[in-house]
Amino acid sequence: MSSLIFAIFSLPRRTPGTEDSAALPQTLPTPAATGVSTRPSLAFLSFTDHPGELAYNFAILHDLEQLVQHPTRIPDRLGDTPNILDLFLTSNPSAYAVTLSSPLGSSDHNLISLSCPITPIPPQDPPS
Protein backbone atom coordinates (compact mmCIF):
# COMPACT_ATOMS: atom_id res chain seq x y z
CA MET A 1 0.00 0.00 0.00
CA SER A 2 1.58 3.29 -1.05
CA SER A 3 -0.77 5.61 0.83
CA LEU A 4 -3.55 5.61 3.36
CA ILE A 5 -6.26 8.22 3.56
CA PHE A 6 -8.35 8.30 6.71
CA ALA A 7 -11.47 10.43 6.89
CA ILE A 8 -13.70 11.02 9.88
CA PHE A 9 -17.22 12.30 9.37
CA SER A 10 -20.48 12.54 11.24
CA LEU A 11 -24.05 12.59 9.98
CA PRO A 12 -26.01 14.75 12.45
CA ARG A 13 -29.63 14.00 13.28
CA ARG A 14 -30.82 17.04 11.31
CA THR A 15 -28.76 18.08 8.33
CA PRO A 16 -29.73 21.41 6.74
CA GLY A 17 -28.32 20.36 3.36
CA THR A 18 -26.33 17.61 1.73
CA GLU A 19 -23.41 19.72 0.59
CA ASP A 20 -21.03 18.25 3.22
CA SER A 21 -21.84 14.66 2.31
CA ALA A 22 -21.59 15.41 -1.40
CA ALA A 23 -18.16 16.99 -0.88
CA LEU A 24 -16.59 13.69 0.16
CA PRO A 25 -13.62 12.90 -2.06
CA GLN A 26 -14.45 11.09 -5.28
CA THR A 27 -11.16 9.21 -5.59
CA LEU A 28 -9.21 7.59 -2.77
CA PRO A 29 -6.34 5.13 -3.28
CA THR A 30 -6.99 3.13 -0.08
CA PRO A 31 -9.95 4.67 1.68
CA ALA A 32 -10.99 4.26 5.27
CA ALA A 33 -13.79 6.36 6.69
CA THR A 34 -15.33 6.35 10.11
CA GLY A 35 -18.14 8.26 11.72
CA VAL A 36 -21.07 8.16 14.07
CA SER A 37 -24.54 8.49 12.69
CA THR A 38 -27.23 9.76 15.03
CA ARG A 39 -29.76 8.62 12.46
CA PRO A 40 -31.18 5.27 13.53
CA SER A 41 -32.57 4.97 10.00
CA LEU A 42 -29.11 4.93 8.41
CA ALA A 43 -28.58 1.36 7.32
CA PHE A 44 -26.37 0.11 4.56
CA LEU A 45 -28.97 -2.35 3.35
CA SER A 46 -31.66 0.27 2.95
CA PHE A 47 -31.60 4.06 3.20
CA THR A 48 -34.48 6.33 4.09
CA ASP A 49 -33.12 9.83 3.47
CA HIS A 50 -30.86 11.67 1.03
CA PRO A 51 -27.75 11.87 3.29
CA GLY A 52 -28.12 8.14 3.97
CA GLU A 53 -28.35 7.53 0.24
CA LEU A 54 -25.21 9.61 -0.34
CA ALA A 55 -23.28 7.65 2.30
CA TYR A 56 -24.47 4.38 0.79
CA ASN A 57 -23.51 5.50 -2.74
CA PHE A 58 -20.10 6.68 -1.51
CA ALA A 59 -19.46 3.24 0.03
CA ILE A 60 -20.56 1.43 -3.13
CA LEU A 61 -18.63 3.75 -5.45
CA HIS A 62 -15.38 3.17 -3.54
CA ASP A 63 -15.98 -0.54 -2.90
CA LEU A 64 -16.06 -0.03 0.88
CA GLU A 65 -17.24 -2.52 3.46
CA GLN A 66 -18.73 -1.76 6.88
CA LEU A 67 -16.58 -3.34 9.60
CA VAL A 68 -19.04 -3.01 12.48
CA GLN A 69 -21.58 -5.78 11.91
CA HIS A 70 -23.41 -5.83 15.26
CA PRO A 71 -25.65 -3.20 16.88
CA THR A 72 -23.75 -0.53 18.79
CA ARG A 73 -26.76 1.22 20.31
CA ILE A 74 -28.71 -0.58 22.98
CA PRO A 75 -32.45 0.20 23.00
CA ASP A 76 -33.43 2.18 26.09
CA ARG A 77 -37.15 2.66 25.37
CA LEU A 78 -39.95 0.25 24.62
CA GLY A 79 -40.30 -0.14 20.87
CA ASP A 80 -36.70 0.86 20.09
CA THR A 81 -34.57 -1.58 18.18
CA PRO A 82 -30.80 -2.12 18.31
CA ASN A 83 -28.98 -0.10 15.64
CA ILE A 84 -25.55 0.11 14.11
CA LEU A 85 -24.83 3.81 14.52
CA ASP A 86 -21.06 3.62 14.34
CA LEU A 87 -19.68 3.38 10.84
CA PHE A 88 -16.24 2.21 9.87
CA LEU A 89 -15.87 1.76 6.14
CA THR A 90 -12.77 0.39 4.46
CA SER A 91 -11.63 -1.20 1.23
CA ASN A 92 -9.40 -3.61 3.18
CA PRO A 93 -11.51 -5.25 5.91
CA SER A 94 -9.00 -8.04 6.54
CA ALA A 95 -6.51 -5.44 7.86
CA TYR A 96 -8.72 -4.59 10.85
CA ALA A 97 -9.89 -6.36 13.99
CA VAL A 98 -13.16 -5.18 15.56
CA THR A 99 -14.10 -5.76 19.20
CA LEU A 100 -17.39 -4.71 20.81
CA SER A 101 -17.52 -4.32 24.60
CA SER A 102 -20.23 -3.48 27.09
CA PRO A 103 -21.13 0.19 27.57
CA LEU A 104 -19.54 2.25 30.32
CA GLY A 105 -21.82 3.47 33.09
CA SER A 106 -25.30 4.36 31.89
CA SER A 107 -24.35 4.81 28.23
CA ASP A 108 -26.64 3.24 25.63
CA HIS A 109 -23.74 2.66 23.22
CA ASN A 110 -21.38 -0.30 23.18
CA LEU A 111 -17.66 0.43 23.12
CA ILE A 112 -15.92 -0.31 19.83
CA SER A 113 -12.26 -1.08 19.47
CA LEU A 114 -10.69 -1.18 16.01
CA SER A 115 -7.10 -2.18 15.54
CA CYS A 116 -4.97 -2.15 12.45
CA PRO A 117 -1.33 -3.17 12.63
CA ILE A 118 0.88 -0.67 10.87
CA THR A 119 4.43 -1.55 9.93
CA PRO A 120 6.82 1.36 9.48
CA ILE A 121 8.63 1.61 6.16
CA PRO A 122 12.36 1.12 6.79
CA PRO A 123 14.56 4.01 5.65
CA GLN A 124 16.42 3.47 2.42
CA ASP A 125 20.08 4.31 1.94
CA PRO A 126 20.58 7.20 -0.46
CA PRO A 127 21.99 6.21 -3.87
CA SER A 128 25.79 6.35 -4.04
- Please check the confidence at residue 32 and state whether its pLDDT lies above 80: no
On whether the CB atoms of residues 110 and 74 are closer than 8 A, the answer is yes
Phi, psi of 56 (to 5 degrees): -60, -45
Which has more confidence, 16 or 24?
16
Phi, psi of 98 (to 5 degrees): -115, 130
Predicted confidence at residue 63, as pLDDT, reads 84
- Please check the confidence at residue 17 and state whether its pLDDT lies above 70: no
List the beta bridge partners of residue 37: 11
Torsion angle defined by CA atoms of residues 40, 45, 70 and 6, in that order, rounded to the nearest 10 degrees: -90
pLDDT band per the 50, 70, 90 thresholds, residue 58: confident
Q: What is the mean pLDDT of residues 12-36?
A: 46
Residue 120 falls within a domain, yes or no?
no
pLDDT band per the 50, 70, 90 thresholds, residue 65: confident
Residue 128 falls within a domain, yes or no?
no
In the chain, the number of structural domains is 1
Residue 94 gets which letter from DSSP? Answer: G
Supply the pTM of this predicted model.
0.56
Residue 110 falls within a domain, yes or no?
yes
Which has more confidence, 127 or 102?
102
Predicted confidence at residue 74, as pLDDT, reads 81
Residue 47 falls within a domain, yes or no?
yes
Its domain, for residue 104, covers: 5-115
Residue environment code for 17-51, b if the CB has 16+ CB neighbours within 10 A, otherwise e: eeeebeebeeebeebbbbbbbebbebebeebeeeb
